[in-house]
Amino acid sequence: MFTHLALSLCLAAGAAAPRNVVLLIADGAGFLHYEAARLHEPDPTGLQVYDGWPVRLAMCTPPDGGTYDPEQMWRDPAWCDRDPTDSAAAITAMTTGVKTVNGRLAVDPRGEPLVTLAQAMAAAGKSTGVVTTVPFVHATPAGFAVSCRDRGAYLEIARLMLGGELDVVMGAGHPWYDDEGRRCDVADYSRVGGAATWDSLVAGSLGAAGEGPWSLITARGQFQALARGPAPRRVVGVPPVRETLQEQRGGDLLAAPFAVPRNEAVPTLAEMALGALNVLDEDPDGFCLLIEGGAVDWASHDGRAGRMIEEMTDFNRAVEAVIAGLDERGLLGETLVVVTADHECGHLAGPVPAHVFLTGDHTNSLVPLFARGPGSGSFAALADDTDPVRGPYLDNGELGAVLVGAAGSVVGLRSSRTDGPAGSNTNTGRDD
Ligand SMILES: [Zn+2]
């Protein structure tokens, strides 16, 4: 059941309201993705990533008009694969509390733009940021920050993200490098807002009025250095690689995890996350940070088990790094940390450890939700439905209500901001 308004008001009244929120999303990761990563974990300490977290639940992910049916789920594999959510509808539900149709970023089913979580947090005086292993214009980071009717309108989305209140934007999409990290002869500016926007970023002259200019970093050493000491107020980080940090690199795409040498010129997700944390932690009002392991989904679409496990491992390392970084700063006790997924991808099936992908698309499977910190006590009460295999579960719109509540806003608030055009400069890339 949805209890958005009551929950939001409760949190807004100050009941265990977190000062900071960190939302970590492993795009496409269901329960068996986590299990596969645990079984292939090269570092034994990594096996305990989520042990001891007080909230360990399941979450359903249907888009507007859909439902999760536990009985059908375990009786009929075809039901599991029918009409799943995409990442756009999922991030909208998870961060606004409002269900929408596939393809829309923080825009409701009637086409009305919603206040995004980043906008609500900024309105509450908090700093905000997004970090991802895929281009930052992709659905999950984009829907956290801006409203757009068309998730594929990358040029417009980049301009909205870089022209708004965000303080950190990090992701792949460098115009001058390919998936291997090799310098290209011809630039592709489609993931960074176009040539003029990129050139302004490089020149240090891009920034919204009143927000200050962006500092652009691209080299791995710059990301590593950002983790400590004084930081610029607003940072865009675009590593020298095209589509993903590592998942699209060459070599045998079906090799065992970690068998193909990594591209050492790009930062890890953990390094990017620690840099982002060091920028955002300056704000006395707190911060809200989204961190996405975006290519877990890409590897799952393509049935690449080894690459999927690598991406899950990088994601888990980022979670560990964030927890350690918060602890080091004395912020762990005032930060709500949520780890979950927008949907399962690939219909991963046992028996372990020889997992196989049954589809190349998203499914209706439940996804895990781990949480800790102030406000995380809300989740157990919301998980008032029970799956015979996964146990108690909540709905992704209920997660959105908790997060909106943490911003002190009321669910359903309408945005007065413009949304993007429908259709123009639509990308032809993958539709994760
Ligand atoms: Zn996908």
pLDDT in tens, 175-209: 999 999 999 999 999 999 999 999 999 999 998 76
For residue 428, the CA-to-ligand 1 centroid distance in Å is 14
In a domain, 84, yes or no: yes
In a domain, 179, yes or no: yes
Write the CATH number for 285: 3.40.720.10
With a cut of 80, say whether residue 74 has pLDDT above it. Answer: yes
In a domain, 48, yes or no: yes
Residue 179 CB neighbours (<10 A): 16
pTM of the model: 0.92
- Reported as a pLDDT band with limits 50, 70 and 90, residue 46 is low
For residue 27, the CA-to-ligand 1 centroid distance in Å is 7
In a domain, 265, yes or no: yes
- Contacts for 388-394: CB closer than 8 Å, 24+ residues apart: 388/70, 388/74, 389/74, 390/31, 390/58, 390/366, 391/57, 391/58, 392/57, 392/58, 393/57, 393/58, 393/59, 393/60, 393/68, 393/366, 394/57, 394/58, 394/59, 394/60, 394/369
User: Into how many domains does the chain fold?
Assistant: 1
Region 128-147: what's the mean pLDDT? 98
With a cut of 80, say whether residue 425 has pLDDT above it. Answer: no
For residue 345, the CA-to-ligand 1 centroid distance in Å is 6
With a cut of 70, say whether residue 278 has pLDDT above it. Answer: yes
Q: CA 270, 271, 277: angle at the middle one, nearest 5?
A: 85
For residue 227, the CA-to-ligand 1 centroid distance in Å is 30
Q: List pLDDT tens digits, range 8-42.
A: 444 444 456 899 999 999 999 999 999 999 888 77
Domain encompassing residue 365: 4-406
Classify residue 225 as exposed, middle or buried by CB count within 10 Å of its CB (0-12, 13-18, 19+).
middle
In a domain, 79, yes or no: yes
pLDDT of residue 50: 92
With a cut of 60, say whether residue 421 has pLDDT above it. Answer: no
- What are the distances in angstroms from CA 273 to CA 32, 81, 205, 261? 25, 33, 25, 22
With a cut of 90, say whether residue 408 has pLDDT above it. Answer: no
Q: List pLDDT tens digits, range 317-352.
A: 999 999 999 999 999 999 999 999 999 999 999 876
Token pair in block for residue 264: 């050492």
In a domain, 10, yes or no: yes
In a domain, 369, yes or no: yes
In a domain, 330, yes or no: yes
Distance CA 137, CA 153 (A): 9
For residue 312, the CA-to-ligand 1 centroid distance in Å is 15
For residue 299, the CA-to-ligand 1 centroid distance in Å is 9
pLDDT of residue 432: 63
For residue 346, the CA-to-ligand 1 centroid distance in Å is 9
What DSSP letter does each residue of 234-274 carry, written as one string?
Answer: SEEE--S-SS-SSTT-SS-TTSPTT-SPP-TTS--HHHHHH
For residue 205, the CA-to-ligand 1 centroid distance in Å is 35
